[in-house]
Every structure is written in structure tokens, then in C-alpha cells.
């Protein structure tokens, strides 16, 4: 996973959790504050309720019996939202006493609404008042025995509760919004700078793959240092394995070439001793030559396959082709072949320079052999897309010779096949190019050139 992708995921995850936690916390705090506001309001109502209950319990002929005064002017203001009521329960003809604020209105009954008594013997809840105000009301039944049963009710304007809660929610929302911004900025800071070492490692590995560096360099945090150390150890182990493979390939080449040289020498001696027409000696020379070609071919494949595992080998394409063109112009100067080159300066081949020169050299040399007077080379860099950002190189070699038919194109790609024995070569050139390109994940295709001859298109991995 790329460090930038990990940073994005961590940021989104952390931000999401911050928002969820703050929302849940805000809901809980708002509920707690609303409950605390209701309890404070209920204590105020209960104080008025106790005063009224005490008045009800006072005998009518007592000098203390008088119209209740709760010390709250709002109970005197008509339809103010603050009301009290003392109503008999078992005597419909008895007088109902109420605050002046009710005028001729009545308070609803919590009992009729199914509100149960609390442990303290009261009912409490929200009701709609005479003017459609939302009221918070407490209600208590009082049994005076022979004097009858009464229902004492006190109600207050619940807008005080709602406004208090709304104000608290407003300030709470503003505080949490500011806190969210601070936490998001903190998360961005932590993600960006906390994951910076991973981004450095990602960039360093990209430099290694592109050939700009050989190892992960620099200081890393304690948590990341083991990763960098193990990556460097893996690179070193890879190089050691490749070096051992090269050594084994070289040893094998020497071991096989020596017996082949002995066989060739023996066959030559037989011919020099007056047995030039000896079919046995001719067959030995023929087969040893085939064996040499086979050995050289497969050892070259093994050598290249070992080199392909080396990380960070890059070849500049334009300079290599320019040098190759100068060389080919000198080799074929007697035929006066003009070689034109158009190469993207940014083109770079992900592989060994020696292998690139061998593939391009075979194609250009073949074009020069068959051209009437002109060879055109073009190098294009093609991007594969967002899913695969690594570019591909398309190297096009055209000549103005006679060209090849479809059947002939299939023949010349096979190892050892030559269409014209008068032309120099072993017939291995295009076969070697095909094999090398395949080992690098590329391809070679042959077609008709716009200038009249053969077109060879070599596709190779770029950087």
C-alpha cells in the first residue's frame, strides 16, 4: 500500500470517528442538561405545590385560611403561562379555586392522560395550556378525610426549559464545531508528519527501481528503521544471488565450451591429414557448430534472466541509439545507407544497456542490410494508464528495402532461419531479439513499413 493512500485512509477514519464521538457526546450532554433543567423547574413547581397543599389542609374556619399567595406575580397575570388550581375530586358542586391567571379556564388532568404517580405521590409531565402554551405541570391528589379529596395542580410555562436547552445546544454546537476543527487539523498534522517516514521509504524504493539509488538511505524513526534495514538486506541478498548465478553461468559456459573445442580441433586435424572429404569429420564440425549456437543461445537466456532480477537497472535510450546509428553508418558506409533517428529524450529502458544494444543493434543492422538507401528509427513513450503508471517504450525500425511477406515474417523470427544466404549473418539475430524482449516482458512484431520495406516494432518496459 502506498503511503499517501494509507494517510488518506487514516485521515478519513480518524475524522469519521471524531465526528461520531462528538455527535454522540453532544446528544448525551444535551439530554443531561435538559434533564437537569427540568429537575430545577420541577423543584420550583413542587415548592409552589407544597404551599398550595398546606393551604388545602388548613381548616376553612381557621384564621390562617385565605386565598393562597405564592409570591409569584405571574400567577396574577391573565394567561401568563403560570397557573395553579385546587379542584375537589368527589364533589362536583364544590368550589374550584384557581389562580387569576387562569381566568375561567381549567387545567388538564395528568391522571386522565395516564401519567402514574411517582414515589413521592405526585404526577408530572407536559401538557398544552389554555392559550396552547406548552406547560410543565405537577399534580398531587390530597385526601382530607371528612373534608373530601382534592387535586392540587401547578403549571409553569415550559418555554423557559426549551429556551435554556436551546441556548445550551447552540453554545455546545459551537464549542464542538471548534473542537472538531482543532481535532481535524491535529489529525492532519499527525497523519502527514507521522507517516512522512513511510512516504520517504516509498520514494526511495521508487528511486531504486528507476536506477537513481541503490539502497534506502537516511535516518528513520525507531518504528520504521527495522523496515528500512530489512529492505536493504533484501536488496543485498538479491544482488548476491544474481552474482552467484552469473558465476555459475560463466563456469558452465567454460565447462561446455572446452569439450566442444576439443571435438572441433579433432575434426579439423582429420581434415588436415588428407581426409578433407571425410563425412564423419564434416558431421562432427556441423553438429559442434549447432551445439555452440545452442549453448550460446541458452546461456545468454540464463545470463539475462539472472540480470532481470537486479533492482534499479536503467538505460538511457536516446544516447544508446545515437551511438548505435553512428556505428552502423560506419559499418555500412559502402552501401551509403542514411539512418534517421527520432527519439523521445525522456525514454528510458528498464534493463541492462548491453541487452538493449543487442536488441536494437540486431534490428538496425538487419534494416541496414536490406535497405535500398534509408533506415528510419522512431522511439515513442506510451503510458499504460492510471492502473499501471509504468510506461512502455515502442521502438520502430523501418527500411525502404523489398520487405517481407507474411509467411517470410514468420520464418525469419525462428532461430537459424535465413532467407538470403548471400547476406552475412547466422540467422540468430531476430530470434535473439524476440527472446530478449520476451524475457523483459516485451515483444517484437514485424509488418510493412510506410517507406516501402520492413517495419520492426520492439516494445519494452520503460521507466
Q: Are residues 262 and 294 in the same domain?
A: yes
Among 33-42, 66-75, 297-306, the range of highest mean pLDDT = 33-42
Is residue 202 pLDDT above 70, yes or no? yes
Whether 227 is in a domain gets the answer no
Asked if 355 contacts 432 with a C-beta cutoff of 8 angstroms, the reply is: no
Indicate the number of domains in the chain: 3
Q: Are residues 126 and 145 in the same domain?
A: yes
Here the CATH number for the domain that contains residue 428 is: 3.30.565.10
The reported pLDDT for the residue numbered 424 is: 44
Q: Are residues 434 and 334 in the same domain?
A: yes
Look up residue 185 and give its three cell numbers.
Answer: 487539523
The reported pLDDT for the residue numbered 144 is: 81
The reported pLDDT for the residue numbered 298 is: 65
Is residue 434 pLDDT above 70, yes or no? yes
Q: 41 or 55: whose pLDDT is higher?
A: 41
Q: 349 or 420: whose pLDDT is higher?
A: 349
Alpha-carbon gap, residue 168 to 179, rounded angstroms: 16
Is residue 265 pLDDT above 50, yes or no? yes
Whether 83 is in a domain gets the answer yes
Q: Are residues 304 and 374 in the same domain?
A: no
Average of per-residue pLDDT across 66-80: 78
Query: Of 117, 133, 164, which marks where a domain is finished?
Result: 164
Q: 268 or 306: whose pLDDT is higher?
A: 268
Q: Confidence class of residue 154 from pLDDT cuts 50, 70 and 90?
A: very high
Phi, psi at 130, each rounded to 5° = -60, -35
Q: Are residues 373 and 431 in the same domain?
A: yes
The reported pLDDT for the residue numbered 190 is: 78
C-alpha distance from residue 101 to each of 70, 156, 251, 403 (Å): 13, 11, 114, 112
Whether 219 is in a domain gets the answer no
Among 15-24, 216-225, 319-328, the range of highest mean pLDDT = 319-328
Q: Confidence class of residue 389 from pLDDT cuts 50, 70 and 90?
A: low
> By three-state DSSP, how is residue 67 classified?
coil
Q: Are residues 11 and 150 in the same domain?
A: yes
Whether 321 is in a domain gets the answer yes
Q: Are residues 380 and 260 in the same domain?
A: no
Domain that holds residue 291: 242-308
The reported pLDDT for the residue numbered 417 is: 47
Q: What is the pLDDT of residues 231-245, one digit of tens each?
A: 888 888 877 887 777
The reported pLDDT for the residue numbered 35 is: 93
Whether 121 is in a domain gets the answer yes
Whether 73 is in a domain gets the answer yes
Q: 305 or 331: whose pLDDT is higher?
A: 331
Q: Are residues 319 and 396 in the same domain?
A: yes
Angle between helices 317-331 and 353-370 (to 10 degrees): 40
The reported pLDDT for the residue numbered 427 is: 42
Q: Are residues 303 and 320 in the same domain?
A: no
Whether 443 is in a domain gets the answer yes
Asked if 202 contacts 3 with a C-beta cutoff of 8 angstroms, the reply is: yes
C-alpha distance from residue 143 to each of 87, 116, 258, 271 (Å): 12, 17, 126, 143
Whether 199 is in a domain gets the answer no
Amino acid at each position: 500500500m502506498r503511503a499517501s493512500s494509507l494517510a488518506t485512509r487514516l485521515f478519513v477514519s480518524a475524522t469519521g470517528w471524531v465526528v461520531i464521538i462528538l455527535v454522540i457526546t453532544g446528544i448525551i450532554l444535551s439530554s443531561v442538561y435538559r434533564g437537569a433543567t427540568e429537575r430545577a423547574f420541577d423543584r420550583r413547581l413542587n415548592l409552589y405545590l407544597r404551599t398550595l397543599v398546606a393551604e388545602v389542609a388548613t381548616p376553612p374556619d381557621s384564621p390562617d385560611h385565605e386565598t393562597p399567595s405564592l409570591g409569584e406575580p405571574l400567577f396574577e397575570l391573565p394567561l401568563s403561562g403560570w397557573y395553579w388550581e385546587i379542584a375537589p375530586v368527589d364533589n362536583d358542586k364544590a368550589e374550584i379555586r384557581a389562580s387569576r391567571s387562569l381566568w375561567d379556564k381549567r387545567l388538564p388532568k395528568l391522571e386522565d392522560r395516564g401519567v402514574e404517580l411517582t414515589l413521592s405521590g405526585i404526577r408530572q409531565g407536559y401538557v398544552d395550556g389554555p392559550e396552547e402554551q406548552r406547560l410543565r405541570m405537577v399534580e398531587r391528589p390530597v385526601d382530607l378525610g371528612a373534608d373530601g379529596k382534592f387535586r392540587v395542580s401547578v403549571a409553569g410555562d415550559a418555554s423557559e426549559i426549551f429556551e435554556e436547552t436551546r441556548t445550551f445546544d447552540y453554545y455546545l454546537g459551537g464549542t464542538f464545531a471548534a473542537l472538531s476543527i482543532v481535532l481535524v487539523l491535529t489529525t492532519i498534522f499527525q497523519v502527514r508528519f507521522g507517516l512522512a517516514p513511510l512516504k520517504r521509504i516509498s520514494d526511495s524504493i521508487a528511486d531504486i527501481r528507476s536506477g537513481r539509488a541503490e539502497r534506502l538511505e537516511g535516518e528513520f524513526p525507531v518504528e520504521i528503521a527495522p523496515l528500512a534495514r530489512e529492505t536493504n538486506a533484501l536488496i543485498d541478498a538479491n544482488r548476491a544471488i544474481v552474482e552467484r548465478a552469473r558465476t555459475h553461468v560463466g563456469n558452465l559456459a567454460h565447462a561446455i565450451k572446452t569439450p566442444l573445442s576439443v571435438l572441433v580441433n579433432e575434426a579439423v586435424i582429420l581434415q588436415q591429414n588428407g581426409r578433407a572429404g571425410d563425412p564423419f569429420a564434416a558431421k562432427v564440425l556441423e553438429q559442434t557448430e549447432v551445439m555452440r549456437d545452442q549453448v550460446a543461445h541458452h546461456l545468454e537466456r540464463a545470463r539475462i534472466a539472472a540480470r532481470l532480477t537486479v533492482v534499479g537497472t536503467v538505460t538511457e535510450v536516446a544516447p544508446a541509439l545515437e551511438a548505435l546509428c553512428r556505428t552502423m553508418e560506419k559499418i555500412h558506409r559502402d552501401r551509403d545507407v542514411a539512418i534517421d533517428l527520432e527519439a523521445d529524450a525522456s525514454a528510458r529502458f528498464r534493463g541492462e544497456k548491453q541487452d538493449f544494444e543487442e536488441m536494437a543493434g540486431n534490428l538496425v543492422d538487419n534494416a541496414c542490410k536490406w535497405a535500398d538507401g534509408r533506415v528510419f528509427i522512431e522511439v515513442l513513450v506510451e503510458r499504460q494508464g492510471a492502473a499501471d503508471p509504468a510506461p512502455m517504450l515502442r521502438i520502430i525500425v523501418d527500411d525502404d528495402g523489398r520487405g517481407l511477406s507474411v509467411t517470410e515474417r514468420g520464418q525469419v523470427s525462428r532461430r537459424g532461419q535465413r532467407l538470403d544466404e548471400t547476406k552475412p549473418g547466422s540467422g540468430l539475430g531476430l530470434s535473439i531479439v524476440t527472446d530478449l524482449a520476451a524475457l523483459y516482458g516485451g515483444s517484437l512484431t514485424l509488418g510493412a513499413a510506410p517507406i516501402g520495406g520492413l517495419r520492426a516494432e520492439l516494445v519494452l518496459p520503460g521507466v
